[in-house]
Each structure stands twice: as structure tokens, then as C-alpha cells.
Amino acid sequence: MPAHEIALVARARGVGRHLLARETLETLAEADDLPAFADDLSRLGAPIDPIREPLDVFAIERAVGHTAGRHLRTLRRWQERTPGALDVFDADQDRRSLRALLRGAVQGAPAEARLEGRRPTPSLPQLALTGLAHQASPADVVRQLVLLAHPDAPRLLPLVQKSQPDLLAVDVALLFGFAERATRAAAGGDETLREFVSTLIDIGNAQNALLMSSGPRDIDPAGTFVRGGRWLSASAFVSAAGAGSQQEALTRLATAFANSPLASLPVVAGDVAHLDRAFFTAALERLARAARLDPLSTAPLLRVLLLIEAQSRDLRALAWGAALGTPASLRRQQLVTPA
């Protein structure tokens, strides 16, 4: 590994020491309400950016988002011009952000709700995300992307001309864009990074297959398969997408993933968010093992990037749980930060 990459991994380990431990998050799950949750954050010395008044869930989400952004900016300052793990992470964040922003525009959701959990990147900084979240329609969102010269704009433009765009087609287009950029960024990296990218593409294809299996569509599944994955073949994807139910699709996906690192993903009926959460937890476990076996690989950096995301997810979930009075045991079950 080049010297600048060793320095970046070392800096990532330093950032990792400022993230909340699972034990602290489990303590935060005991908060009776949102003010108590905010007080506990302060009492436990959580290194979270200041929470601005008025105190509500969105104020906590903004503080959590600013904290994650601060950690990521620290790492980006140590990245050389060579594409690598941070570019892969940013490409994935762009895909997630645009998916949420376009869905929010279709639903007419408030801007703050559309921004929930969104992470700024060099191609979609915070000002751009905020502007996109205030657009009145999906077409307006994409027109702003054109002005920003975002690479996904050309493929999204023809998909948002209708008043009700096909959101599955949007998801497929975003996965194509992610696959192109992430595969290119990982080409010069190590096997750990390339496997991480291919697994993300596999999971994206699996999610799209689940969406197609949940209802009739005038779309050829074969034309929506995104290449670049490792474990889910085009034929297995088409089989899952053509299943009569999500449960049957999940069973077919489990068969396809049987001899892969994704074999441990639970096969249960549900939405694509469940599969994403299961993958996220499994990826953290695999990267922890890989980092111990090869501390000079990209595994430690990828793990810290996912831990930054895990902390953000967990704190948002705990804040909402405190606000809604969700039982503490259920809040703890939703945590993705490993012990």
C-alpha cells in the first residue's frame, strides 16, 4: 500500500476512536423522551456537534449529520488524487441521496424529511442537497442536477418527464450510475475494495428484483440487470424479479447467494430496507475480520466509513424512538453499530 494510503488508514483509525461505542448507544436507548435523549448525549460526553434550538428530531438529525460530515471531511483531506474507497463511499451516498430526494419530490414530502440521513459529497455538497430537497417535482430535481453537471442527470432526465415517474426505472438508472463510478474508482484498489463494490452492486440488483417481484410491471427484467456484481448472475436476477411474491423472490435470491459472503443474509418477507440493513450489519462484521487479517488493506478505512454511517443511522433511530416512545428493547434491536 502506498505511503499516502497508509496515512489515510491511520487517520481513519483515529476518527474511529471518536465514534460512539455500542454500549453508549444502548444506554441512550433508555431515554424516556427526546429532551432526556438530548440530555443523555451531553451527560455521556458524546462527541456530537451542538444541537440547535428548538429541540426536535430534525435538530438532532442536523447535529448528527454535521458530525458525520466533519469526520468525512477529515478523511478527505488525507486522500490523494488517486480514486479509492472514499470515492466509492461518496458514489453510494449520491445514489442513496438522489433516490430519497426523487421519492420525496414524488410524495410532496417536506424538505427536512427529504434530507433525513443525507450525506454531502464533493459532487452533492450540502447547499446542493438543500436546494434539491426544495424542488417541487422530480423533473425540477433533475433539472437542478443538470445545472450541477451531476453525472446521473443525463440518464435520469428522460425518466422524470411524466407527472408520476416510474421509481423502479429511477432506481435502476441510479444503480447503473453508481456501478460505473464505483467500479472505476475501485479498479486501482485492492481486492477488498473491489469485492466491496461488487457486493454493493449485487445488493442493489437484489433490491430491484424484490421491487419487481412485488407487483405487475411492463418492464423486461433482463434490461434492468446492472453488471459488475460477483454473486448474483443475470439469470438468477431475472428469476427473482419474475417471482410471484417477495417471499419467493427472497428464496430465489438466497439460493443464488448460497456460496457467497451474502449467504448469511436472512430470508424473510419484507421491504428492501430490511435487506439493506442486513447487508450493512454483515459488511461491518466481514470488514472487521479483514482488517485484523490485513491491517494495511482498505478494510480498516471501509470499516470506519461504515461505522460513521452506522453511528448516524443509530442516533437518528434512537432520537425517533425517544420522540415516539418506542420501547427501549426495540430501539436496541434496531442498532447496527457492532459491539
In DSSP notation, 242-307 reads: T-SSHHHHHHHHHHHTTTSTTTTS---SS-HHHHHHHHHHHHHHHHHHHHHH-TTSSHHHHHHHHH
| pLDDT above 70 for 94 | yes
Distance, C-alpha 267 to centroid of its chain: 20
Q: Which position has the higher pLDDT, 216 or 167?
A: 167
| pLDDT above 70 for 224 | yes
Residue of 43, 17, 51, 19 whose CA lies nearest to 319: 51
Can you give the pLDDT at residue 245?
A: 84
Name the percent of the chain lying above pLDDT 90. Answer: 68
The pLDDT of 177-191, averaged and rounded, is 94
| pLDDT above 60 for 270 | no
What pTM was estimated for this model as a whole?
Answer: 0.90
| pLDDT above 90 for 38 | yes
Tell me the C-alpha distance between 337 and 339, whole Å: 7
Q: Which position has the higher pLDDT, 274 or 151?
A: 151
Can you give the pLDDT at residue 269?
A: 46
Distance, C-alpha 293 to centroid of its chain: 26
What pLDDT digit, counting tens, does each position of 123-179 carry? 999 999 999 999 999 999 999 999 999 999 999 999 998 878 999 999 999 999 999
Least confident piece of the model among 27-31, 33-37, 79-83, 301-305: 79-83
| pLDDT above 70 for 36 | yes
Q: Which position has the higher pLDDT, 1 or 62?
A: 62
- Burial of 13 from C-beta contacts in 10 A (0-12 / 13-18 / 19+): middle
Tell me the C-alpha distance between 84 and 129, whole Å: 23
Tell me the C-alpha distance between 339 and 325, whole Å: 24
Tell me the C-alpha distance between 215 and 211, whole Å: 8
Can you give the pLDDT at residue 280?
A: 86
CATH 1.10.132.50 in the chain, residue ranges: 1-82+298-339
Tell me the C-alpha distance between 314 and 331, whole Å: 9
H-assigned helices in the chain: 3-16, 22-28, 34-43, 57-77, 85-107, 111-114, 126-133, 138-147, 153-156, 167-186, 191-213, 234-241, 246-256, 272-293, 299-324, 328-333
CATH of the domain spanning 1-82+298-339, picked from 3.40.50.410, 3.30.390.30, 1.10.132.50, 1.10.150.110: 1.10.132.50
| pLDDT above 80 for 187 | yes
CATH 1.20.1690.10 in the chain, residue ranges: 190-296
Residues 119, 97 contacting (CB under 8 angstroms)? yes
190-296 has which CATH code? 1.20.1690.10
Domain 85-188 has CATH 1.20.1690: yes
C-alpha cell at 290: 479483514
Residues 20, 309 contacting (CB under 8 angstroms)? no
What rounded mean pLDDT belongs to the chain?
90
